[in-house]
């Protein structure tokens, strides 16, 4: 105490105090300030690793600084969610250009995907990778999720998420075998022709309800027997003409050839 | 029985020999038969039904699998009637809104119409309900399929010719009613898909020039969707249309009885007989058994394959529409017609709109199509000038133009139906929906012409192949090498029974266009009509291939001799060659 008091008039005291104040404020800010994106927390190393992956695999279309070229759009501001969606569903890196890049096998593991996402997120503000709590579909209100799905999604993705056609060879893909996180990311980033559904359009809880509904109809037993692709009456008609009629004509031929 | 077993060699002698020609004494009926006979007698005494019933039971029907296609339709209809009664016990045709509290979890708490709710209850909470619903729907699809295939059979074999034109018209009306009945039933559950169908139907009504919106208001009892349409469809589906269907169907069957059944050509089959078996007991057993086969097959399909999963579609709500919205298959051609019509047919006239882009497909297509089908027998009779009765069927190849017209019609129908599923084709075959639609618009005009030409040529080729077969026999594949080193294939002549089937038909000749002027050189007022008819007759009979005549056959055998081997058994005529 005496030692501290003795040195309070030391010429360096004011500098030390200022420094201390700045550190405390900085620490408090970093603890209390709202987290905008995961990229804010991403380590320098991760961003650097992401950048080198980006330069090796993506820059040929998206440009060396992700500014976009004639063959690929700018990625500044698309956010980590967009990268995670495109790369984890195997759409990116694209094998070639076409009306729409199809889903495929993911070419990068989770760590590499996260690194690229961190790098792209570091370029500008965009939707972050969503938290598990709103993508698992746990505790979802299925009825509400179903209603939101029918009103907003079924017109392209079909009533059972079996997919549907759009103009000129574009299409809304089937929603089978996709993770809740990918569904959520698609809703917030609007890949290809899909519109964006921000938190003000459909709240995170309602997105979780939609995910819960999709998971429920995907995993529920097929109550009426095999669903014939969930394509509506067309596949039923084809089945009636080919298999049911074939069966009945077969029976008629058999009976017709039977001696009286 | 025991006397019949006596050995033939041992002839009875004496007085017994005089009784050998006596009819055998019938044994007295046993107890059950006697009782049944007594019951039949009791009924006959009070109704006089025995004579008619006996007449019916002795009716002879020819045997062929294609004659059972109509039976499939009849049995599917009966299955629909039986299962439909079950469904009415629980279905409530009301558009009143209620919250769902049944066992299908993804819809619990959703507001829906009572019609939809009770259909869900039938599917999930009534024992056996889903199976019966699926049997009802699959049987309905099979009914329309079987009606159409039955019509194909009747058309391509010329069974619609005199005296059966009226029955063809009745059948045409039945076919039209079957799709209307199907559409009404498909709409009843008030699910998202069928509601979209009703919405489309409302649009069709509105496209009627001038009165369209009034007609729609009248039928829906106000603006769409209102609360009236489901109860009204229900009345149509369970009362009005089935009543007409059953009435016409009975008339259809009675006329078959009156006309007697047609038969395929063959040895011993003429225009004035029917070769086959009597209804009782042969066809009672066969047809009765076939009913259970059809029921069994449809029940099997219904147990294994989902149809119309209304729980997956969700309740009807005018705002959402699902991708891949299609009607049941029998309405696809009408939907396809709409999808093919170009948008510029919507013509604004001052403040009104003439929606020809909808009206042509929705209001004209079905009446035009069914009118053409219905009047075909009369058109053909007018062109051919054939006023005789026909009870022997044509082999399709022997009526090339008719067969080609039928095939062209099917091709046109197929193009329209494919247009109705253009979005499914696009996604399943990774094609652009715009290109599919363009291609189908083109095919609508081109494909029937190509199919007509190809089918006609195929028929003519088949007829020529028949001629070859009759004239030169079957190529056996046995090659004979003569002493000179010449190789010859042995042709085995047809047996007379097979040959008869290939040569029995007659070939019409085109109407000759005589002089269009009368004796005084005055143009006949009828000549224009006659000339038109002659042109059609030319179109119908031109290129026809005549069957082999006995003279040709004899000449061919004569000619064929020098190829035939003197020792070969296959040669019809063995003798020294005159060449």
pLDDT > 50? residue B405: yes
The pLDDT value given to residue B122? 95
Q: Which of A141, A142, A144, A159 to mutate: most B Cβ within 10 Å?
A: A159
A223 shares a domain with A165: yes
Which of B144, B278, B324 has the most A C-beta neighbours within 10 Å, making it the best mutation to test the interface with A?
B324
Q: Is B324 on the interface with A (CB under 8 A)?
A: yes
What is the rounded average pLDDT of the residues A34-60? 76
Backbone dihedral angles phi then psi of residue B487, each to the nearest 5 degrees: -95, 135
Q: Tell me how close the Cα of A53 comes to any Cα of chain B, in angstroms.
A: 32
Asked, for residue A77, whether it belongs to a domain, the answer is yes
**Do both A160 and A213 map to the same domain?**
yes
| Ramachandran bin of A55, using left for φ above 0, alpha for ψ from -120 to 50, beta for the remaining angles | alpha
Reported as a pLDDT band with limits 50, 70 and 90, residue B514 is low
Using a CB-CB cut-off of 8 Å, the residues of chain B touching A247 are 297, 301
Which pLDDT does position B7 carry in this prediction?
46
**pLDDT score at A34:** 63
DSSP string covering B218-243: HHHTSSSSTTTHHHHHHHIIIIIHHH
The conformation of residue B162, written as its DSSP 8-state character, comes to: T
Tell me, yes or no, whether A188 lies in a domain: yes
Cβ-Cβ contacts under 8 Å, B420 against chain A:
234
Q: Is residue A236 in a domain?
A: no
Q: What is residue B340's three-state secondary structure?
A: helix
Which of A99, A215, A237 to mutate to test binding with chain B, by most B CBs within 10 Å of its CB?
A237
Q: What is the mean pLDDT of residues B331-335?
A: 92
pLDDT band at B293 (very low <50, low <70, confident <90, very high): very high
Rounded to an integer, what is the distance from CA A81 to the centroid of its chain? 6
pLDDT tens digits along A122-165: 888 888 888 888 888 888 899 999 999 999 999 999 998 888 99
- Confirm whether A16 is domain-assigned: no
Let me know if residue A222 belongs to a domain: yes
Look at residue A165 and tell me if it is in a domain: yes
Per-residue pLDDT, B394 = 92
Q: Are B333 and B416 in contact (CB under 8 A)?
A: yes
Dump pLDDT digits (tens) for A197-224.
988 889 999 999 999 999 998 888 888 8
Q: Is the pLDDT of residue B566 over 60?
A: no
Residue B526's pLDDT band, with cuts at 50, 70 and 90, is low
The rounded distance, in Å, linking the Cα atoms of B220 and B202 is: 8
What is the enclosing helix (H) or strand (E) of B475?
strand B474-481
Chain B interface mutation, best of A244, A250, A251, A256, highest count of B Cβ atoms under 10 Å: A244
Whether residues A230 and B309 touch (CB distance < 8 A) is answered with yes
Q: Name the B residues in 169-198 with CB < 8 Å from any A CB.
A: 186, 192-193
- Give the total number of structural domains in chain A: 2
Model confidence at B559, in pLDDT bands (50, 70, 90)?
low
Q: What pLDDT, on the 0 to 100 scale, is given for residue A192?
A: 86
Structure tokens at B502: 């290939």
Question: Do A77 and A140 fall into the same domain?
Answer: no
Q: Per-residue pLDDT averaged across A51-57, rounded?
A: 89
pLDDT at site B515: 64
Instruction: Tell me the domain boundaries of chain B.
Output: 68-394
Predicted confidence at residue B450, as pLDDT, reads 97
CB contact under 8 A, A169 and B430: yes
What CATH class has B68-394? Answer: mainly alpha
Please indicate, yes or no, whether residues A76 and A143 belong to a single structural domain of this protein: no
Determine what percent of chain A is predicted with pLDDT higher than 70.
Answer: 95
Q: For B101, which residue in chain A has the nearest alpha carbon?
A: A143
pLDDT tens string B439-490: 999 999 999 999 999 999 999 999 999 999 998 888 888 898 999 999 988 8
Q: Mean pLDDT over residues B87-107, rounded?
A: 93
CB interface of B with A, residues 51-80, below 8 Å: 63-69, 71-72
| DSSP string over A185-244 | HHHHH--TTPPP--TTTS-HHHHHHHHHHHHHHHHS--TTSB-GGG-THHHHHHHIIIII
State the pLDDT at residue B574: 37
Q: Judge if A89 and A50 occupy the same domain.
A: yes
- State what percent of residues in chain B have pLDDT above 70: 90
Contact B329 A233 (CB under 8 A): yes
Say if the Cβ atoms of B433 and A260 lie within 8 Å.
no
Find the range with the poorest average confidence among A31-35, B126-130, B337-341, B355-359: A31-35
Residue A202 domain boundaries: 135-229
Is A204 found in the same domain as A164? yes
Q: What was the pLDDT predicted at A230?
A: 84
Greater confidence, A117 or A97?
A: A117
In a domain, residue A3? The reply is no
Question: Residue B573: pLDDT above 60?
Answer: no
Q: Average pLDDT over chain B, rounded to whole? A: 87
Q: What is the pLDDT of residue A134?
A: 87
Mean pLDDT on B204-220: 91
CATH number of the domain at A61, please: 1.10.760.10
B308 interfaces chain A, CB cutoff of 8 Å: yes
Q: Which residue among B108, B277, B302 sits closest to A143, beta carbon to beta carbon? A: B108
- Domain end call among A67, A90, A123: A123
Residue A83 C-alpha, separation from nearest chain B C-alpha, in angstroms: 26
Interchain proximity B290–A255, CB inside 8 Å: yes
Q: Hey, how many other C-beta atoms are within 10 angstroms of the C-beta on B177?
A: 18
DSSP per-residue string spanning chain A: -HHHHHTTT-TTHHHHHHHHHHHHHHHHHHHHSPP--HHHHS-HHHHHHHHHHHHHHTHHHH-TTS---SSS---TTSHHHHHHHHHHTT-SS-SS-SSSPPP----S-HHHHHHHHHHHHHHS--PPPPPGGGTS-TT--HHHHHHHHHHHTHHHH-TTS--EE-GGG-EEPP-TT--HHHHHHHHHH--TTPPP--TTTS-HHHHHHHHHHHHHHHHS--TTSB-GGG-THHHHHHHIIIIIHHHHHHHHHHHHHS--
The answer on pLDDT for B504 being more than 60 is yes
Choose between B524 and B98: higher pLDDT.
B98
In this structure, the answer to whether residues A213 and A192 fall within a common structural domain is yes
Inter-chain Cβ pairs, chain A and chain B, closer than 8 A:
210
pLDDT recorded at residue B476: 87
Chain B nearest-CA distance from A207, in A, is: 15
**Domain termination site, one of A123, A150, A176:** A123
Do residues A145 and A210 both lie within one domain?
yes
- How far is residue A48's CA from residue A87's CA, in Å, rounded to a whole number? 18
Q: Other C-beta atoms within 10 Å of B59: how many?
A: 17
In chain A, what is the straight-line distance between the N-terminal and C-terminal CA atoms, in Å? 121
For residues B391-409, average pLDDT: 94
Q: Find the CB nearest B68 among A99, A228, A256.
A: A256
Q: Are residues A158 and A211 in the same domain?
A: yes
A170 domain-assigned? yes
CB contact under 8 A, A245 and B146: yes
Residues 226-265 of B with CB under 8 A from A: none
| pLDDT at residue B13, as a whole number | 65
């Amino acid at each position: 105490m005496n030692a501290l008091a003795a040195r309070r008039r030391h010429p360096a005291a004011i500098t030390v105090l200022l420094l201390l104040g700045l550190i405390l404020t900085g620490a408090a800010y970093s603890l209390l300030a709202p987290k905008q994106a995961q990229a804010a927390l991403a380590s320098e190393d991760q961003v650097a690793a992401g950048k080198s992956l980006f330069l090796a695999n993506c820059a040929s279309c998206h440009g060396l600084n992700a500014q976009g070229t004639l063959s690929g759009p700018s990625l500044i501001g698309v956010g980590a969610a967009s990268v995670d969606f495109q790369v984890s569903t195997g759409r990116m890196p694209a094998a070639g250009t076409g009306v729409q890049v199809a889903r495929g096998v993911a070419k990068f593991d989770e760590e590499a995907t996260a690194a690229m996402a961190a790098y792209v997120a570091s370029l500008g503000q965009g939707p972050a990778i969503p938290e598990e709590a709103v993508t698992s579909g746990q505790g979802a209100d299925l009825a509400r999720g179903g209603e939101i799905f029918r009103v907003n999604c079924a017109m392209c993705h079909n009533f059972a998420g079996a997919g549907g056609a759009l103009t000129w060879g574009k299409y809304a893909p089937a929603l089978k075998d996709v993770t809740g996180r990918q569904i959520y990311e698609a809703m917030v980033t609007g890949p290809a022709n899909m519109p964006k559904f921000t938190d003000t359009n459909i709240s995170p809880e309602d997105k979780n309800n939609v995910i819960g509904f999709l998971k429920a109809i995907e995993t529920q037993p097929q109550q009426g027997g095999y669903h014939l692709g969930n394509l509506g009456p067309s596949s039923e008609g084809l089945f009636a003409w080919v298999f049911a009629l074939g069966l009945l004509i077969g029976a008629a031929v058999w009976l017709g050839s039977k001696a009286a | 029985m025991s006397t019949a077993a006596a050995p033939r060699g041992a002839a009875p002698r004496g007085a017994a020999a005089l009784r050998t020609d006596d009819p055998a004494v019938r044994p007295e009926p046993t107890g059950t038969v006697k009782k049944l006979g007594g019951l039949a007698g009791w009924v006959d005494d009070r109704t006089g039904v025995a004579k008619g019933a006996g007449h019916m039971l002795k009716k002879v029907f020819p045997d062929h699998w294609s004659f059972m296609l109509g039976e499939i339709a009849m049995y599917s209809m009966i299955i629909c009637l039986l299962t439909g009664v079950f469904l009415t016990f629980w279905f409530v045709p009301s558009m009143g809104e209620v919250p769902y509290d049944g066992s299908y979890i993804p819809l619990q708490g959703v507001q829906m119409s009572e019609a939809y709710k009770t259909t869900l209850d039938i599917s999930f909470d009534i024992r056996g309900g889903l199976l019966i619903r699926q049997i009802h729907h699959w049987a309905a699809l099979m009914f329309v399929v079987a009606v159409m295939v039955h019509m194909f059979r009747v058309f391509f074999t010329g069974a619609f010719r005199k005296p059966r034109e009226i029955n063809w018209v009745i059948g045409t009306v039945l076919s039209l009613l079957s799709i209307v009945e199907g559409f009404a039933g498909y709409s009843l559950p008030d699910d998202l898909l069928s509601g979209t169908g009703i919405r489309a139907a409302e649009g069709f009504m509105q496209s009627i020039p001038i009165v369209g919106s009034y007609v729609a208001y009248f039928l829906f009892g106000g603006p769409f969707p209102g609360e009236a349409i489901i109860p009204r469809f229900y009345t149509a589906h369970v009362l009005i249309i089935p009543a007409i269907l059953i009435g016409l169907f009975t008339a259809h069957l009675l006329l078959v009885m009156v006309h007697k059944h047609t038969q395929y050509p063959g040895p011993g089959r003429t225009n004035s007989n029917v070769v086959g078996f009597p209804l009782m007991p042969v066809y009672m057993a066969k047809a009765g058994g076939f009913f259970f086969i059809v029921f069994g097959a449809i029940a099997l399909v219904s147990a294994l394959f989902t149809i119309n999963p209304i729980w997956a579609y969700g309740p009807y709500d005018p705002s959402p529409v699902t991708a891949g919205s299609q009607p049941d298959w029998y309405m696809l051609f009408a939907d396809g017609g709409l999808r093919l019509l170009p948008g510029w047919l919507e013509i604004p006239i001052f403040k009104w709109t003439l929606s020809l882009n909808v009206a042509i497909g929705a209001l004209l297509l079905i009446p035009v199509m069914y009118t053409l089908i219905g009047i075909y027998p009369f058109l053909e009779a007018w062109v051919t000038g054939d006023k005789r009765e026909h009870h022997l069927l044509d082999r399709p190849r022997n009526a090339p133009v008719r067969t080609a017209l039928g095939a062209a019609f099917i091709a046109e129908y197929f193009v329209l139906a494919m247009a109705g599923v253009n979005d499914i084709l696009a996604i399943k075959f990774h094609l652009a929906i715009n290109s599919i639609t363009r291609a189908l618009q083109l095919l609508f005009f081109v494909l029937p012409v190509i199919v007509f030409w190809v089918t006609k040529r195929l028929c003519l080729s088949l007829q020529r192949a028949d001629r070859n077969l009759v004239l030169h026999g079957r190529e056996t594949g046995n090659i004979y090498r003569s002493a000179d080193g010449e190789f010859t294939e042995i042709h085995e002549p047809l047996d007379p029974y097979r040959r008869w089937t290939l040569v029995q038909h007659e070939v019409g000749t085109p109407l000759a266009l005589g002089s269009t002027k009368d004796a005084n050189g005055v143009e006949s007022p009828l000549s224009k009509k006659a000339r038109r008819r002659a042109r059609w007759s030319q179109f119908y009979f031109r290129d026809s291939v005549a069957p082999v005549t006995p003279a040709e056959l004899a000449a061919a055998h004569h000619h064929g001799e020098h190829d035939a081997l003197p020792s070969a058994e296959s040669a019809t005529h063995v003798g020294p060659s005159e060449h």
